[in-house]
A and B are shown apart, each in its own frame.
Chain A
Amino acid sequence: MDWLFNWMPEWLVEFPQIAGRNLRLMSRTIDQQYRDFSRAWGDSIEAFFRPLLDFLLWFENILIETPWWIILAAITAIVWFASRSKKITIGSFVALVLIGVFGMWEDTMRTLSIITVCTLLAIVVGMPIGILMSRSDKLQATVNPILDVMQTMPSFVYLIPIVMLLGIGLIPGLIVVVIYAMPPIIRLTNLGIRLVDKEVLEAANAFGSSSWQKLVEVQLPLSLPTIMAGINQTIMMALAMVVVASLIGVRGLGQPVLQAITNQYFTQGVLNGLAIVAIAIIFDRASQAYGQRLQRHREASHG
């Protein structure tokens, strides 16, 4: 191959790239500008999220301060009422008892509280975006690529701008998790509404429904199974991100895992990892069973 390289000009052999000096200059300028922006706005942004932090801390406190058996009973009851399935309920109960026995109760409560708050936040922000997207093809065409980027961007990259802006702590952690977990709920709300039976929608129109009435009476109820699938995925994404977010100071089951990695504590890593899996399964099965129960009217039994 040498003869080939010999007669070719330099720029055909090595990829012609921006000079290292210029590249460094560019990165430095952008970083500097972002840093200035952070310095100017960081505090007000943090103040803006302050109520959220208070709510999160309050919720976390309740979960941790309340005697364990009350929480255990409450979670078991919630799982029962959501799923009405003995198998799922007993499984959840056993998993929680094991978590307690192996000394992971407090961390689990922290993770539980941040997951709950993040999921609620992702729904509150994500569903309206999904609804707007379902009404405009243009918006859909704009938002979809953004969601693609959000979902494929390595999760660690999210941490950088947030940490630069807000430093290390619960709020940046919360924001990272919400941003990471939001795409599925946006996508599936949009999809679910777009898949609603056109004839039923036409009937709603023919009776003079306003767009709000159509949304509440027809579109949301009929797209509920799809939206529930979105919520389910959002919970799973949030759980995955909670571990990564422990890098920036989010406490919970993620931190012992992190510790285990740096110190090569194999057992501790596996135990905490299993606790996360257990929470994931509880959330997943309970929310799916709840979603299916909402669909009972589709069963075609003559009654």
Chain B
Amino acid sequence: MAETAIKVRNLYKIFGNNDRAMVEKVKQGLSKTELLAEYGHVLGLRDINIDMPAASIQVVMGLSGSGKSTLIRHLNRLIEPSAGEVLVNGEDVLKMSAKQLREFRRHKISMVFQRFALLPHKTVMDNVCYGLHVMGKSKAEQRKAAARWIERVGLGGYEDNYPAQLSGGMQQRVGLARALATDADILLMDEAFSALDPLIRTDMQTVLLDLQKELAKTIVFITHDLDEALRLGDKIAILRDGEIVQQGTAQEIVLDPADEYISSFVREVNRGRVIQAETIMETPAPASVAASESFPVEEGTVLEEVARRMTEEGIDNAHVVDDAGKPLGTLTMRSVMAGMATPVLKEALEEETGVAEAEKQPS
């Protein structure tokens, strides 16, 4: 994947008055519960190491209380760590002076919040202008840039409304426009869509993916929703109790969950939307294929899409090709269906056939 934009190294965060001393105890293996019971400190993050790729979406997923908000707030230093390093484009965020940090936040990194955090006394226009205003841009410049982003997120005509007059989805569009207006390369999104209704949420995901195609920002997206994580994440890190339990692409996590905890998450996932054609293709690639027997699919196409096209074309075979059109391997309707089946279904089926076979056996 592309170069690394954000590097987090050995990051620890402990909430309490004596956090630095507690880091040593945690390093020696003290658990979150023990730390709380014996020393009255809360373990927020433990030994976090992540490389976040530039120009792609890094998702951090975990249940409520797992430390997601704490982690993302270290990236723009809204929270000071107890130990560790945060490097953004090679620059150590923790070594910045107050003034450098302000400049960094104004120009390099911006943020979208779970409960929108708009300024209730300012109009949509003035909210979107806020980052530019803080930078000291002229009124005309502010309004010009803001108007463009308001239009881009689909809020044209609402410039003079106050946030309280808008629905949740529209308010978060304002939040998004406000963050994009500063032209920062890095966009932090803390459960940005979690407060929205499911339909609106899907809508906003589409808006984000569309924007990302055009803008190629480095996005750090926090969510507690696996489907959202799989849909948006180029790379996903899973957090539990302040620790990272697995990192990888959506496919890696679904196919090879690191432990029972993650398996329980991914068991019900729609695999057809996650697993890619080349993952299950049979190699070697055929030397030549007749167009009537097989059609080409590009590398990276998900199985659901392959199945849809097989049905449409009425052909049961496909071959995976790379960018240059060179065949890499083959797929059949059967292998695609098998790839899409969830483990729950597989287990159920295996049990049934198992019972059937046992009945056939003479006792």
What residues make up the interface of A, taking CB atoms closer than 8 Å to B? Answer: 197, 199-200, 202-210, 213, 217-218, 221-222, 224, 297-303
Which residue of chain A has its CB nearest to the CB of B111? A206
A209 x B164 contact (CB < 8 A): no
B338 within 8 Å of A by Cβ? no
B82 within 8 Å of A by Cβ? no
**A301→B162 CA distance, assembly (Å):** 9
B76 within 8 Å of A by Cβ? yes
Shortest C-beta distance, B17 to chain A (Å), equals 14
A300 x B117 contact (CB < 8 A): no
B119 x A200 contact (CB < 8 A): yes
A202 x B113 contact (CB < 8 A): yes
- The contact of A209 among B103, B134, B161, by CB within 8 Å, is B134
Chain B residues lying within 8 Å of A199, measured Cβ to Cβ, are 113, 115, 117
Beyond known contacts A205-B78, A208-B105: 13 more, CB 8 A cutoff: A199-B115, A199-B117, A202-B78, A203-B111, A208-B134, A208-B135, A218-B119, A221-B119, A222-B119, A222-B120, A224-B121, A302-B165, A302-B166
Shortest C-beta distance, A212 to chain B (Å), equals 11
A300 x B134 contact (CB < 8 A): no
B78 x A297 contact (CB < 8 A): no
Closest 7 CB pairs of A and B: A208-B105, A208-B106, A203-B117, A297-B162, A206-B111, A199-B117, A208-B102
- Given A222-B120, A301-B165, A206 and B78 contact (CB-CB distance below 8 Å): yes
Chain B residues lying within 8 Å of A300, measured Cβ to Cβ, are 164-165
B218 within 8 Å of A by Cβ? no
**Can you list 13 pairs linking A and B with CB atoms under 8 Å apart?**
A199-B113, A199-B115, A200-B117, A203-B111, A204-B119, A206-B105, A207-B106, A210-B134, A217-B119, A218-B119, A222-B121, A299-B164, A300-B164
- The contact of A206 among B76, B118, B162, by CB within 8 Å, is B76
Secondary structure of the A side of the interface?
helix
B102 x A221 contact (CB < 8 A): no
A298 x B134 contact (CB < 8 A): no
Q: Interface digits, B107-124 against A, CB 8 Å rule (1 contact, 0 not)?
A: 100110101011111000
B130 x A217 contact (CB < 8 A): yes
B164 x A213 contact (CB < 8 A): no
Chain B residues lying within 8 Å of A209, measured Cβ to Cβ, are 102, 134
B120 x A207 contact (CB < 8 A): no
B105 x A207 contact (CB < 8 A): yes
**A113→B76 CA distance, assembly (Å):** 51
A303 x B134 contact (CB < 8 A): no
Report the count of interface residues on B (CB-CB < 8 A).
31
Which residue of chain A has its CB nearest to the CB of B102? A208
B119 x A205 contact (CB < 8 A): no
> Which residue, B119, B131, B165, has most C-beta atoms of chain A within 10 A?
B119
B182 within 8 Å of A by Cβ? yes
- The contact of A205 among B105, B118, B162, by CB within 8 Å, is B105
Chain A residues lying within 8 Å of B105, measured Cβ to Cβ, are 205-208
B104 within 8 Å of A by Cβ? yes
**A210→B99 CA distance, assembly (Å):** 9
**A232→B135 CA distance, assembly (Å):** 36
A207 x B130 contact (CB < 8 A): yes
**A221→B130 CA distance, assembly (Å):** 14
Which residue of chain B has its CB nearest to the CB of A298? B164
Which residue of chain B has its CB nearest to the CB of A296? B162
Which residue of chain B has its CB nearest to the CB of A206? B111
Chain A residues lying within 8 Å of B164, measured Cβ to Cβ, are 297-300
Chain A residues lying within 8 Å of B119, measured Cβ to Cβ, are 200, 203-204, 217-218, 221-222
- Given A206-B105, A208-B104, A217-B130, A298 and B111 contact (CB-CB distance below 8 Å): no
A297 x B120 contact (CB < 8 A): yes
Shortest C-beta distance, B130 to chain A (Å), equals 6
**A193→B133 CA distance, assembly (Å):** 22
- Given A199-B115, A208-B134, A213-B134, A221 and B182 contact (CB-CB distance below 8 Å): no
Chain B residues lying within 8 Å of A222, measured Cβ to Cβ, are 119-121
**A290→B315 CA distance, assembly (Å):** 74
Chain B residues lying within 8 Å of A202, measured Cβ to Cβ, are 78, 113, 117
B residues 126-181 near A (Cβ < 8 Å) are 130-131, 133-135, 161-162, 164-166, 178
- Given A222-B120, A222-B121, A207 and B131 contact (CB-CB distance below 8 Å): yes
Chain A residues lying within 8 Å of B102, measured Cβ to Cβ, are 208-210
Shortest C-beta distance, A37 to chain B (Å), equals 43
